[in-house]
Structure 1
Amino acid sequence: MTKLRLGPIENDKPVRLTIELPAAVHRDLVEYGRLLARESGQAEIAVAKLISPMLARFMGADRGFRKLRGER
């Protein structure tokens, strides 16, 4: 079975942010949440809960960001 890049979604104190997404991206996020919930045995995962860990993982894997951030 293929493993998704995100693991279980942790609860954390949220900061409210309003964004607009293309409909196709939203549909993909809904499907990703459905698949991740099934894979991890969690209840349905809302799109809003996916965005933060996805962004954190993206930034953590960006070598240029890590390098420039370390130069501050």
Structure 2
Amino acid sequence: MKSSASLTNRQKARPPAHTKLTVLGSTGSIGLNTLDIVRQFPQKFRIEALSCRNSIERLVEQIKEFKPRLVCVDTNEQV
């Protein structure tokens, strides 16, 4: 029978899971730069959610590439 201490040590030796990211404004300049970093380090990051306001076509491409669990589009137009 294995001790709980050895199990804990084995768990600590595991590589960490992906860091889940939500990118608000994913189609803007900061969002695009963030997604470039995610592309460089796919073993470290996973896109959990994306959002945008206007660039729906670009958002659709991001959805196809990153397959986020959640997507939000701001359709509230101020008059």
Task: Name the TM-score, length of structure 2 as normaliser.
Answer: 0.31
Task: Name the TM-score, length of structure 1 as normaliser.
Answer: 0.34
Q: Which has the larger radius of gyration?
A: 2
- Between Structure 1 and Structure 2, which shows a larger proportion of strand residues? 2
